[in-house]
Structure 1
Amino acid sequence: MNKLHKKLLLLRSKLLVFLTHNMALPVLRFIRKPKIFPYSDKELQLFSNGTLGKDLIVFLEKRKIKLLPHYAKHDIKHILLQYDTTDDGEVCLQCFMLGNGHISFPVAATVFYGMVTMPEHWSKFKTAYYRGKKCIPIAGWKWFEILHQPTQLLIDKINTDAKS
């Protein structure tokens, strides 16, 4: 990989972070007025091992990501859908949500951005989209109410309770 290619990948990544964290997130908080995440970092540490709440704080700490009260639901989806917080992981998560029937501006914008700027990951995006189509709808889940449940049980539910 040459220097220019590395610089372009870094720029692409920074642009994705800027568009999601600095543009979309503040606008969505203003428009949607989402529920504030009900737990602090310290409270999540007290959850039992293997629960979604405990796995959330471990996930964030491992990646050196700060718990953002208006973004916790998104981070929970990363855990349950098993897409990392890489650029292609972010787009895969949104492709899954699109396939799963959750159509919103952030989903559409992220999928569009990924399709335009990340052609090397198109096959992953397609796989994520079709995975979302075959799984049960998760957009209506009560994200903050399932934090005490075993993470693996929830992952298995998503992966095995596919629509017929």
Structure 2
Amino acid sequence: MITHSLKNPDQNTLNALAFLDYHEDSLGFGLGCFLLRNNLSFEKDDTVRVLAGYDGSFLGEICLQYFLFGNGRRNFLSVITMLVGTLSAISHCGAFYTAFKKGRNAHRFHDLDFSKMLSQPLENIWSAFNIL
């Protein structure tokens, strides 16, 4: 069952290899692959990156913040990232707007406890939250 709760700070101790123990079509496995591919350690936004389909690049980060803003997350850091990112990459405004619309059209999920969804197939999560 998917529940609303605060993120568990102990999730930050998980490394990419631990996520690869999940089934290949699961959110957990997708997260592990993302972390390995980008040589990252786990951060709470990485799960949203996997679900929304944005990489860890500069443009991917800006798109992620637009997606999250569209999905209802409002905070100072996101707004600053969007502002600076838009001014730095003005030629990509179409992609930013698309990310915003994608987040707005998805059911609100940015504030969920994703640890309860790690074993779920990505396709099911995408469908349930209207992310694709």
What TM bracket, shorter-length normalisation? 0.7 to 0.9
Question: TM (normalized to structure 2)?
Answer: 0.83
Cα distance in 1 for residues equivalent to 2:33 and 2:50: 10
Larger helix percent: 1
Partner of 1:44: 19
| 1:66–1:133 Cα change, 3 Å | closer
Aligned structure 1 segments of 4 or more residues deviating by more than 6 angstroms: none
Q: Name the count of aligned residue pairs.
A: 126
Asked if 1:148 corresponds to 2:116, the answer is: no
Asked if 1:158 corresponds to 2:129, the answer is: yes
Of structures 1 and 2, the one with the larger relative CO (CA 8 A, separation 6+) is 2
Asked if 1:61 corresponds to 2:61, the answer is: no
Partner of 2:3: none
Cα distance in 1 for residues equivalent to 2:9 and 2:20: 21
Residue among 126, 129, 154 paired with 2:97: 126
| 1:160–1:43 Cα change, 3 Å | closer
Q: Deviations over 1:118-140 (max 9, x none)?
A: 10111111111122122211123
Cα distance in 2 for residues equivalent to 1:46 and 1:136: 28
Cα distance in 2 for residues equivalent to 1:141 and 1:62: 25
Partner of 2:4: none
Cα distance in 2 for residues equivalent to 1:84 and 1:41: 15
Cα distance in 1 for residues equivalent to 2:98 and 2:120: 27
How big is the shift at 1:54?
Answer: 1.2
Alignment of 1:62-141 (within 5 A): 62-63=37-38, 65-68=39-42, 71=43, 73-141=44-112
Cα distance in 2 for residues equivalent to 1:42 and 1:118: 34
What is the Cα-based RMSD across aligned positions, in Å?
A: 2.3
Percent of residue pairs bearing the same amino acid type: 26
How big is the shift at 1:112?
Answer: 1.0
Partner of 1:21: none
